[in-house]
Amino acid sequence: MTLSRTHILALLTLYAIILGLRILVEVVGPLGPITGQLLTLLAFYIALGQAFNIFLGMTGYVDFGYVAFMALGMYGMASGVVRAYEAGLPGYYGIVFGLIQTITLTSLLALIVGGIALRLRGAYFAIATISVNEGLRYLVEGLDIWEGSRGLIVSGPLIRLFGSEGFSLLATIISDIMVFSVALLALVISIVFLNTRIGYALKAIREDEDAARVMGVNTTMYKVLAFTTSGILGGLLGAAWSFKVASIYPPDAFNILYTIEAIILVMLGGAGTLAGPIVSGTLYGSLKYFLAGILPGFQLLVFAPILVAVIVVAPEGIVGALRAYIPATRRFIA
């Protein structure tokens, strides 16, 4: 698939519409069923899908521990803010420090796990990643890191640092815009990857890894590159999301639900496609928002069968199916 200017413009327009709506809702209030909460969910799921797509979609390797990156991001940002508060430094120091911690922790995790497990094939990698998630969670609880199972309280220090007015802005519109920036960053990186030799290498790996290796592609390096990029983006997403939670507990931060959602988002939209995450993120986010009112706690019972059905019946996802069956869409959707 070659990306044209039309493809990129169409996507950027969609992104602009969602961001514009979020700001509009902030200024004039909810527009009918479109509320700030709905748009927050959309931004979150688009970002999650777009970030995870760089690894799962482009390499075809499944990371069942993706939430570990988000958790490290949440903890990285929150502990940075708490440390700044305890040291009596101004709030933005905490945010900068939190960002540095997030990027350091997530890239370390990605390099360690990826460096070891990505030398092996998919099955072994999947096994290693499932254990990463549970293992890290129990490390945080076991060694009492970041207050362990008592939970790291974020809202208190945030209110002291930024005032209650500043905190409520930070927890809503500002964190939404941060989430949105992660989505945009992931989109831009995807475009760059797809348009350079990185994209070709990843595609070659996904289609036939042995052949790619024979042709001289350094497969491990490209896999680790995609894994680390996707992991750091996941961490940044967690960091942006951490402003919305009052305190962080290991079972919530490492909740496998986020991994399941990330896999659903990528596969439903179309693995490796550029427009997949925005399609599935909008669909999933809205359904989740409206289902929460009707069937609280039932989302997974609705989405897990959909996931299995997509894999069995239409493994190419919505965008892939559109491109395959309606040729006219190929000009706009990549």
Residue among 36 and 148 whose Cβ is closer to another protein = 148
- The residues, ordered by sequence, that sit 6+ positions from 214 with a Cβ below 8 Å of its Cβ are none
Would you state the structure tokens that stand for residue 265, as one six-digit string?
Answer: 């988002």
Residue among 246 and 300 whose Cβ is closer to another protein = 300
Give the nearest distance from C-beta 136 to another protein in angstroms: 8
Give the nearest distance from C-beta 118 to another protein in angstroms: 10
- Considering only residues 8 to 47 of the shown chain, the ones binding another protein according to CB under 8 A are none
Q: How far is residue 80's CA from residue 68's CA, in Å, rounded to a whole number?
A: 18
Q: How far is residue 328's CA from residue 251's CA, in Å, rounded to a whole number?
A: 46
Q: How far is residue 334's CA from residue 330's CA, in Å, rounded to a whole number?
A: 7
Would you state the structure tokens that stand for residue 97, as one six-digit string?
Answer: 């420090």
Would you state the structure tokens that stand for residue 228, as one six-digit string?
Answer: 């680390």
Figure out which of the listed residues 127, 192, 221, 326 binds another protein, where binding follows CB under 8 A.
Answer: 127
Figure out which of the listed residues 301, 325, 327, 328 binds another protein, where binding follows CB under 8 A.
Answer: 301
Residue among 132 and 225 whose Cβ is closer to another protein = 132
Residue among 45 and 64 whose Cβ is closer to another protein = 64
Cβ burial of 313 (10 Å; 0-12, 13-18, 19+) is: exposed
Residue 284 touching another protein (CB under 8 A): no
Would you state the structure tokens that stand for residue 330, as one six-digit string?
Answer: 């190929």
Question: What residues does 301 pair with on adjacent strands?
Answer: none
- Considering only residues 131 to 190 of the shown chain, the ones binding another protein according to CB under 8 A are 131-132, 134-136, 138-144, 148-149
Given the rule CB under 8 A, which residues bind another protein?
56, 60-62, 64, 112-113, 116-117, 120-124, 126-128, 130-132, 134-136, 138-144, 148-149, 206, 256, 260, 263, 267, 271, 297-298, 300-301, 304-305, 307-308, 311-312, 315
